[in-house]
Amino acid sequence: MLKSLAYKEWIKLRLYWALIFLANLAFTVFLCLQLRRVCKTNELLAVWSNWLFKDYLFFRACEYGPLLLGVIFGSLQFFPEIINKRLRLVLHLPLGEARAVGAHLLVGLGLLTLIFLPAAGLLAGYAGIWFPREFAVNLAYVYAPWLLGGYAAYILAAFTLLEPTWRLRVFFFLFSAALVRLYFFTPYYDSYGRVLPGLGLLTAALTILPLLSAHRFGKGYGS
């Protein structure tokens, strides 16, 4: 039954996933070309110094990209489920609420990973051509919180959309916006290096929230 649910989600999301994947990959290629232009017209030491002392990042344009993709993908997956209470049918399957919603989340997170990782790998690999390993590692320290913010945005979009009452839905939206801010405080050199494990644990812990909203949805609150 879990395989059937996963296949249903794939059928529903495959076209959206393909379009988002291609758009994200095309934007990453644009950033690589931007890096090439910067490195061809400036000394690499100057590029590094500009990041350290002037907060210049060649890929700063994609800072909120994962966040936007997470919100869009979460909305595309869960908004159709709350129309006419369609999700309630799934929640009454013998699987149970937690496993049914967990299957939806696993499929969404898996597809989101297939969007994020190729683009991140391309960006890291291309940066590694121009810069030494230390510089590339610190680029990862900057980019990783943005990726985690994309996952958090997806989870919190599900959490908000699955809430059956509008009053709490507005509150959850404001709460989510404040929480996601943690992932985008500063892009300064090595600023997130020490807190990345904690940020990853926080993101994993957020997966409990959509299960709580789904439980309220299944019990008919707000009907």
Rg (CA), the chain: 19
The residues, ordered by sequence, that sit 6+ positions from 25 with a Cβ below 8 Å of its Cβ are: 118, 119, 122
**Residue 90, pLDDT score:** 65
Instruction: Report helix, strand or coil for 58.
Output: coil
Instruction: Please check the confidence at residue 110 and state whether its pLDDT lies above 90.
Output: yes
Q: Is residue 187 scored above 70 in pLDDT?
A: no
Average pLDDT, the chain: 84
pLDDT greater than 60 at residue 42? yes
Give every CB contact of residue 211 below 8 A, 6+ residues apart in sequence: 97, 98, 101, 102
State the chain's maximal CA–CA distance in angstroms.
63
Question: Residue 94's CB: how many other CB atoms inside 10 A?
Answer: 7
Decide: pTM greater than 0.75: yes
Name the more confident of 7 and 112.
112
Neighbours of 160 (CB within 10 A): 25
Token reading at 31: 């950033």
Higher pLDDT, 105 or 101: 105
Contact between 115 and 67 under an 8 Å Cβ cutoff? The reply is no
Q: What is the pLDDT of residue 215?
A: 80
Query: Predicted confidence band at 195 (pLDDT cuts at 50, 70, 90)?
Result: confident
Q: DSSP H helical segments within the chain, as ranges?
A: 2-41, 44-54, 65-82, 86-91, 97-130, 133-162, 166-180, 196-205, 208-218
Q: What is the mean pLDDT of residues 45-74?
A: 79
